[in-house]
Structure 1
C-alpha cells in the first residue's frame, strides 16, 4: 500500500470518527508533539554539554534508591 492510499484511509477514519474518538486523536497528537519538543530540547542540552554522567546522578540520589 502506497503512502497516498494510507493517508486516504486515515482521512476516511477521521471523518467517520465520533466526537469522543476525535478528542482522543487530538490528545494523542498533542502528546506526540510535546514529546518531540522535549526530545529536541534534551538533544540540544546534550550538544551544549548540559548533562551529568549516570554515575554522578546515581550517587547523588543513592539514598532514595
Structure 2
C-alpha cells in the first residue's frame, strides 16, 4: 500500500487484524493501528491492505 493513500481514521487490514489508522509515520513508513477493543500496534505499510468494505462512521462490513 502506498503511504500517500493512507489517511488517519481509515480502516486497513494486516496479518494482525483489522485496525483504524491513528498515527502515520511517513519517515519510517509505518502506521499505528487501533482495533475495536482499543488494542494498538504498529505496522509497516507494506503489510497493509485497504479494507474497502469498512469505512469511518460504520465500523462494520456492508
Q: TM-score if structure 1 supplies the norm length?
A: 0.19
Looking at secondary structure, tell me which structure has more strand per residue.
Answer: 2
TM-score by length of 2: 0.19
Tell me which of the two structures has the higher relative contact order, counting C-alpha pairs closer than 8 angstroms and 6 or more residues apart. 2
